Amino acid sequence: MQAKALRAVAKVVLDEEDLALLEQVMAVVKVASDARDILAHRIWMYDLQLPEDVVLMNPALPWLTDHKVKAGGGPGPTTTGHALEIQELMRRECLLWSLEELEKARLASVHSVVGLQAFRLMHLSPAGSVARSEERQKVLNVLTLASQKPS
């Protein structure tokens, strides 16, 4: 909703060139926001067999598996097919994030903050000024960095 509000105001106060630049910055912000949502709204777990990864579990999984167990006849012996259904549910409701993916999320966050700040400073600078040009270049630099694949 904050992004929608920002875009609505931007359409009124920015020229087409600055609006297009802001939209590019907002695309970087979306990447950071999506990663943040995943990290914030999941339960962090680990697996001893995957020491370099984080398991991000849907908080509803305990209730979903409990329901699945009850639907299959409750605790105790079950069929192979039913056990495989529960395993598939667990697999589907958990995400495995590597250190590389966590680093990508961190960089997306940095790029979005720096990009928005540079855009703000650009917009506060007088039109045609050196300061505005310098801040615009910072925005463009952030967009370039954000588009590069990590090495």
Intra-chain end-to-end CA distance of the chain, in Å:
34
Q: Is 132 helix (H, G, I), strand (E, B) or coil?
A: helix
- Rounded Cα distance between 4 and 66, Å, is 39
In this predicted model, what pLDDT tens digit does every residue of 52-65 receive, in sequence order?
999 999 999 999 99
What average pLDDT does the segment 19-46 reach?
Answer: 94
**What kind and span of H or E run contains 44?**
strand 43-45
Structural contact between residues 65 and 58, judged by C-beta atoms closer than 8 angstroms: no
Which phi-psi region, left, alpha or beta, contains residue 46 (left: φ > 0; alpha: ψ -120 to 50)? Answer: beta
- pLDDT category at 5 given cuts 50, 70, 90 is confident
In this predicted model, what pLDDT tens digit does every residue of 114-151 receive, in sequence order?
999 999 999 999 999 999 999 999 999 999 999 987 66
Q: Is 56 helix (H, G, I), strand (E, B) or coil?
A: strand
- The 3-class secondary structure across 19-39, one letter per residue, is HHHHHHHHHHHHHHHHHHHHH
* Predicted pLDDT of residue 151: 62
Residue 16 has pLDDT above 70, yes or no: yes
Backbone angles phi, psi at 51, to 5 degrees: -65, -15
Lowest-confidence segment of 4-18, 98-112, 121-135 by average pLDDT: 4-18
DSSP-based helix, strand, coil % in the chain, nearest 5: 70, 10, 20
pLDDT above 70: percentage of residues in the chain: 99
